[in-house]
Structure formats: structure tokens, C-alpha cells
Amino acid sequence: MIQARSVLQELKKQHISHIIGLPDNSSAGFFQLASRDEDVKSIFVTREGEAFAIAAGLWLGGKRPVILIQNTGLLESGDGLRGTALRMRVPLVCLITYRGYHKRGHDRVTPPFEARVLDRADLDSAALVTEPTLQAWGVPYYLLHDEGGLAVIPEAFSRAGRCSQPVAVLITDSLG
């Protein structure tokens, strides 16, 4: 488990203004913590695609938002991400909890997949397509496995700013 407090501290070192997202089982504890924080505002959306457009608007207005959603929500967000943050070239860090990381079958199946692979009980269909989707959309990403890897967060911010585009951090363990 990755401490939610450690992640929030790393984000605050980057002077973030808002956390936009929708809690899942892995991030619920983080949102509970963040929503009590006086320095960072939390915005809860009804569907993840909203988050990218809201973040783009916040950035237009001079703020520094981050997004926190599950990988299933990332898949739902396709047009919102493409049409706002990507095309507007918004330097935006997206934290994505990686449902099914240990059931992505990377040692057994490789893209392009046949559709029937997505129905296999030993694999998680969301996990299977998460990284290929980010690659297809041109979104660089880092993997955050444990507290020892928190340095990927400042790296992601640096890259997002340098390249003026969204960068993802895939979180493979629960935030507690």
C-alpha cells in the first residue's frame, strides 16, 4: 500500500491547486484526506471525461490542477482528454489507479489483442488496454509501485511542463 499522505505531500510540493476526480476503491482514502486539506481544493465529477475539460479550464484560468481517476475512467474519458488537454497542450499530470495491474497478462498476451482475450477470467480487460491506450493517445506515463518510487511524481510534472502536454502516473497499488 502507498500512503495517501505521502502522495499528497509530493503533489503539494508541486504547488497543485486542485484535485479533480472520481474515487475508486484504491483512491477513496486519498480523496478523504485531500478533501480535508486547506491548501488544495477537491472537485468531484460525475463521469471522468468531465475532469479533463474542467482541468483544462482551470489551467486556462491560471491554476495547476491534477486529475485522479481509475484506468476504467481513463478509457471513458477518451474524447475529453483528446479534445481538451491533449489538443490544447495543457501541462497536466493525471494520476490513474491501475485496476487489474497484476491481471494484465503481459507475459502471456501482447497487443494487438483478439477481442476474445478481453473476456478471459484470468485477465483484467481494463488493465490489458490501459498502457496501449495511453501509447496510442501519445500520453507518456510512469508507473508508481510503492513509496520508494514517489520520485516519478516530480518527474511527471517536469515532463508535462517541458513538453506542454498531459503526462500520466499509473498507480499500481492502493492509496491508503
Partner 1 sequence: MLTKEQLLEPLARLRGNAAIVTTMGVARPWGKYSSSELDFASADSAMGHAADLALGIALAQPWRKVICLNGDGSMLMTLGTLATIIGSGAANLILFVVQNGTYEITGNQPVPAAGKLDFCQLALGAGFSRVYGFEAAAEFEKTLPELLSGDGPVFAAVLIEPGSEGPISRSEREESFYLKESLAEWAHRMRRALAADDCRGSTR
- Which is nearer to partner 1, 87 or 162 (by Cβ)? 87
- Which is nearer to partner 1, 55 or 168 (by Cβ)? 55
- Which is nearer to partner 1, 53 or 170 (by Cβ)? 53
- Which is nearer to partner 1, 47 or 162 (by Cβ)? 47
Whether the bond between 112 and the residue before it is cis, its omega within 30 degrees of 0, is: yes
- The neighbour count for residue 156, using CB atoms within 10 Å, is 25
In 3D space, the residue among 131, 128, 133, 126 whose CA is nearest the CA of residue 143 turns out to be 131
- 147 within 8 A of 6, measured Cβ to Cβ: yes
Q: Which residues of this chain interact with partner 1, rule CB under 8 A?
A: 17-18, 41, 43-47, 49-50, 52-63, 65, 79-84, 87-90
Task: Report the number of secondary-structure helices (H) and strands (E) in the chain.
Answer: 7, 6
Q: How far is the CB of 103 from partner 1 (least distance, A)?
A: 29
Q: How far is the CB of 25 from partner 1 (least distance, A)?
A: 21
Q: How far is the CB of 61 from partner 1 (least distance, A)?
A: 2
